[in-house]
């Protein structure tokens, strides 16, 4: 299959629905919606929505029904990037090739834009349950899953641990524990949510969740490697920042060669999780392999 074509088709679909899900307003809330749209619609690979769609497709599910979940995942991811870029956290000026939200607007607006996107995500999930009462239990289960993955038991908890680990010597176990929460939890939840809403059997949901867990780790290892070896022009953000901030990273604790080898082993494991699935899981197979060669 042509992964590039698949990714660009899905990205167009996701971008259209995101655009419709957050329309321009003329009221007193104009500025915060403008900032939310600036960050939400200003680029990004749409990896979490695409993983969710691809997992639903792997169990022969309906992509349209999954779209509210895909949108919610991207809203939560974008909120996390806006807040991560703030001066109180990573203090970054560039994101997705453009000024970060607080640079384009101001800090207070960026905090509110992040808050607005986080709450909008849960509005979109609840609205889907209201509009599709026959699927209300599935949407409720997914809402719980996404809340857990993005909150203190997941991404927020991982971000806290990551900040605390700055400048401290770390072991591989510590790095893995941080990244399972900070980045891995939402990626894993993206796959699991697609599998649940797509109507997968319990065995299929568990197999895809194992795939999603490995995907999260591979993503973070390759993200850390890109920070060392990537080109900032291609990535739309500065590189070399992990070393400057003394972050806990895979290449930092393992070295570059061993980090690459660990990523390759995890891809092999992810492919074996997909073994029981037919060709409908090809996008997930190619996505895992793509992580090893991605440049952004
Ligand atoms: C502020 C609660 C809170 C959490 C922030 C996700 C995160 C936690 C911080 C982002 C910092 C960072 C660069 C983490 C490395 C992994 C990561 C999430 C990279 C960005 O995700 P991509 O590559 O971004 O999917 P795009 O722009 O393509 O959507």
Q: How would you class 172 by CB atoms within 10 Å of its CB: exposed for 0-12, middle for 13-18, buried for 19 or more?
A: middle
| Distance from C-alpha of 196 to C-alpha of 28, rounded to nearest angstrom | 39
**Tell me: the pLDDT tens digits for 185-219?**
999 999 999 999 999 999 999 999 999 999 999 99
Q: What is the pLDDT of residue 59?
A: 97
Q: What is the pLDDT of residue 24?
A: 86
Ligand 1 centre from 197 Cα, in Å? 25
296 in a structural domain: no
Task: Please say if the pLDDT value at position 236 is more than 80.
Answer: no
Locate 62 and state its tokens.
């309906």
Residue in 48, 221, 233, 261 with CA at minimum distance from that of residue 142: 48
Q: What is the mean pLDDT of the chain?
A: 95
Q: Does the Cβ of 156 fall within 6 Å of ligand 1?
A: yes
Q: Does the Cβ of 245 fall within 6 Å of ligand 1?
A: no
Q: Does the Cβ of 49 fall within 6 Å of ligand 1?
A: no
Q: Does the Cβ of 270 fall within 6 Å of ligand 1?
A: no
Q: Does the Cβ of 83 fall within 6 Å of ligand 1?
A: yes
Atom of ligand 1 nearest to the CA of 74: 29
223 in a structural domain: yes
Ligand 1 centre from 261 Cα, in Å? 23
Q: Does the Cβ of 183 fall within 6 Å of ligand 1?
A: yes
**Residue 30: which pLDDT band, with cuts at 50, 70 and 90?**
very high
Locate 241 and state its tokens.
């920042």
35 in a structural domain: yes
55 in a structural domain: yes
Please check whether residue 197 is in contact with residue 61, taking contact to mean a CB–CB distance below 8 angstroms.
yes
Q: What is the pLDDT of residue 240?
A: 87
Task: Please say if the pLDDT value at position 235 is more than 90.
Answer: no
Q: What is the pLDDT of residue 232?
A: 84
132 in a structural domain: yes
**Residue span of the structural domain in which 122 resides:** 3-291
Q: What is the pLDDT of residue 248?
A: 84
| Number of structural domains the chain divides into | 1
Please check whether residue 79 is in contact with residue 71, taking contact to mean a CB–CB distance below 8 angstroms.
no
Q: Does the Cβ of 44 fall within 6 Å of ligand 1?
A: yes
Please check whether residue 89 is in contact with residue 141, taking contact to mean a CB–CB distance below 8 angstroms.
no
| Distance from C-alpha of 274 to C-alpha of 281, rounded to nearest angstrom | 7
- In which residue are the tokens 């392999």 written? 289
75 in a structural domain: yes
Q: What is the pLDDT of residue 169?
A: 82
CATH assignment at residue 113 = 1.10.600.10
Give CA separation, 292 vs 145, 184, 192, 287, in Å.
28, 16, 22, 9
For the chain, percent of residues with pLDDT exceeding 70: 100
Q: Which helix (H) or strand (E) holds 257?
A: helix 256-273
Q: What is the pLDDT of residue 266?
A: 97
Please check whether residue 33 is in contact with residue 24, taking contact to mean a CB–CB distance below 8 angstroms.
yes
**Residue 109: which pLDDT band, with cuts at 50, 70 and 90?**
very high
Q: What is the pLDDT of residue 84?
A: 97
Q: Does the Cβ of 39 fall within 6 Å of ligand 1?
A: no
Atom of ligand 1 nearest to the CA of 186: 6
- Mean pLDDT of the region 72-93: 97
């Amino acid at each position: 299959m042509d992964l590039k074509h698949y990714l660009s088709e899905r990205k167009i679909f996701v971008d259209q629905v995101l655009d419709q899900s957050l329309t321009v307003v003329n009221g007193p809330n104009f500025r915060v919606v403008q900032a939310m749209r600036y960050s939400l619609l200003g680029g990004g690979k749409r990896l979490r929505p695409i993983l969710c769609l691809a997992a639903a497709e792997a169990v022969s599910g309906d992509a349209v029904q999954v779209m509210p979940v895909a949108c919610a995942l991207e809203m939560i991811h974008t909120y996390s990037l806006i807040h991560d870029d703030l001066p109180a956290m990573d203090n970054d000026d560039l994101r997705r090739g453009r000024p970060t939200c607080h640079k384009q607007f101001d800090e207070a607006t960026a905090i509110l834009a992040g808050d607005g996107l986080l709450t909008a995500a849960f509005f979109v999930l609840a609205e889907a349950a209201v509009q599709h009462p026959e699927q209300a239990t599935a949407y409720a289960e997914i809402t719980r899953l996404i809340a857990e993955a993005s909150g203190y038991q997941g991404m927020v908890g991982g971000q806290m641990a990551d900040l605390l680990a700055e400048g401290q010597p770390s072991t591989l176990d510590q790095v893995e524990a941080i990244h399972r929460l900070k980045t891995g939890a939402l990626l894993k939840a993206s796959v699991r949510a697609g599998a649940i809403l797509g109507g997968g059997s319990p065995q299929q949901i568990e197999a895809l969740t194992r795939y999603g867990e490995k995907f999260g780790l591979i993503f973070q290892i390759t993200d850390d490697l890109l920070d060392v070896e990537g080109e900032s022009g291609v990535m739309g953000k500065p590189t070399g920042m992990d070393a400057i901030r003394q972050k806990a990273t895979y290449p930092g604790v393992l070295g570059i060669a061993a980090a690459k080898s660990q990523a390759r082993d995890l891809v092999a494991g992810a492919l074996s999780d997909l073994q029981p699935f037919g060709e409908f899981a090809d996008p997930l197979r190619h996505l895992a392999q793509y992580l090893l060669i991605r440049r952004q």
